[in-house]
Amino acid sequence: MMRLLSIGVTPGLLVLGVLLLSASARQLNFATTVGSKAFASYDDGLLTPLGDLSLLSSSEYTTLTHPVFPRYTVRVKQSDFCDGAVQAYTGYIDVQARHLFFYFFESRRDPDKDDVIFWTNGGPGASSSMGLFMELGPCRVTDTNTTESHPYSWNEHANVFFVDQPVGVGFSYAEYGETVSTTFEAADDIAAFMTIFFEHFTKFKGRALHLAGESYGGRYIPVFAATIYDKNAQLLEAGLTPINLTSVMIGNGCTDFATMYPSYYDAQCQDPTFSAVQGIADCVRMKQLVPRCTKRYQESCVEKTDGIDCAAAVAFCNTAMSELFADLNHYDRARPCKGAADITECYPIVKNIDDYLSNPDTQERLGVDLAARGNFSHGTPSVNLAFRQHLDHWGFPAQYYISALLERGVRALIYVGATDYICNWIGNERMTLALEWTKQEEFRSQPLTEWTVDGQVAGVTRSGGGLTYATISGAGHMAPYDKPVESLELANRWLAGETL
């Protein structure tokens, strides 16, 4: 058991103090409950966590709560799907009337010692089921009814979460139309979830946590990590164990559009690693528009955040830089297909995932709430629109959060499939070189060098000051899907603290 600090007047304990004062018998069950049975309680300042995942039921949810986060509960159950070689769990993060669905898989190697990875896909509005069933999870969907084991899952050396967030994505839902439309709102939910999980399942307390994400995850992950880091001070004040936030891992991220927009010209016309996609005349016209796009974006979206002017600048840059690429596969320049409008045209596995997760038997096994059952979709356009309307795409400098995390000793891995277009290696490399922190010269001064897997060149990399940038040759936007062996090797080396 763990004793909480007594009530004081410090702001970090204000919520806790209110909770204590409102408990007339100085006793507040903060529930770990299965049905009506309580496994944990908060009583006279003592916190009794559930303790072990083995206590979870496979037939009904166990509910976890926490006095520092009174608005949040976590429901979790054992599940028998995807990979019979390891324990799997599913559940919901309940934020009053908002409910976020998650999957959790223990490590294949040593769940009692291996690190923890949190994974989210991007969008905004993309379900993390794509990361699970298509990229780095322990199984891949083969048809509407079945999956097969995936030997290159990232849970080989790590315990891994996949979370459908924000609300409205995947199996996540709201009871009364509540929405989350900014990365900062979403970050609060993830920080509370991680705290409740680590506090209840004591074998993970103090275990290294790595926040990982793809695409718009390049904006999600830096803010999620910063929120967890900052809230650790509140946990310390309450006498609780802080979360051991160790690193962020961003794959094919669109983190800084100030460097990404100009890179669309390079990706089509001037990439030293890939043949030009557009003709000479079109490339010349695009080259002339690059400085205009850069200037308008800088003035309207960086130096100030004016909703109307920034939206106009973004519309101009999108047209100037990507209009000619509109009907091509935005996720892989080396995979020709008409994939811009519907990802399933280029990646049929995505439709298989939708069909598999739409299956009533699958939903029953996963424990999906009745309110979220029915046809499943990998993407939610309304969530994407809400984030755009709140200027979340362009309204905050996500790269500054990476710099701040590096300054505080949180390592950062930026990896990119070399043939991606939408969040390409050129824009990502420029972003890393522009980051400012006290050890920036340790990174900038290093040349790009090749990294290898089994004696074969897997890409190029640069490391220094806690930051690593790496490309994965032959991979597009969903790098673990295209190059599973190399992506797993990259992840395992990173978790082990090795250089590439």
Give the residue numbers marked as catalytic.
Answer: 215, 420, 477
E strand residue ranges, 189-272:
208-214, 244-251
- Give yes or no for a cis peptide into 49 (omega within 30° of 0): no
Dihedral of alpha carbons 78, 158, 471, 264, sign: positive
> For residues 270 and 284, what is the distance between their CA atoms, to the nearest angstrom?
11
Best CA proximity match to 93, nearest among 193, 185, 175, 165: 193
Region of 168 (left: φ > 0; alpha: ψ -120 to 50; beta: rest) is left
> For residues 97 and 174, is the Cβ–Cβ distance under 8 A?
yes
Dist CA 23 CA 407 (whole Å): 41
Question: Cβ atoms within 10 A of the Cβ of 337, count?
Answer: 13
Say how far apart CA 450 and CA 473 lie, in whole Å. 10
User: For residue 260, what are the contacts with CB-CB under 8 A and spacing of at least 6?
Assistant: 254, 423, 424, 427, 428, 431
Angle of helix 280-297 relative to helix 257-269, nearest 10 degrees, comes to 170
Closest CA to 405 of 448, 445, 465, 492: 465
Phi, psi of 158 (to 5 degrees): -155, 155
- Backbone torsions φ then ψ of 136, nearest 5 degrees: -125, 10
For residue 430, CA distances in Å to 256, 266, 287, 310, 463 come to: 9, 12, 18, 22, 14
Task: Please say whether the beta carbons of 15 and 1 come within 8 A.
Answer: no
What is the CB-side half-sphere exposure of residue 60 using CA atoms within 13 A?
Answer: 7
How many Å apart are CA 423 and CA 438, to the nearest integer? Answer: 27
**What are the helix and strand counts (H, E) for the chain?**
15, 19
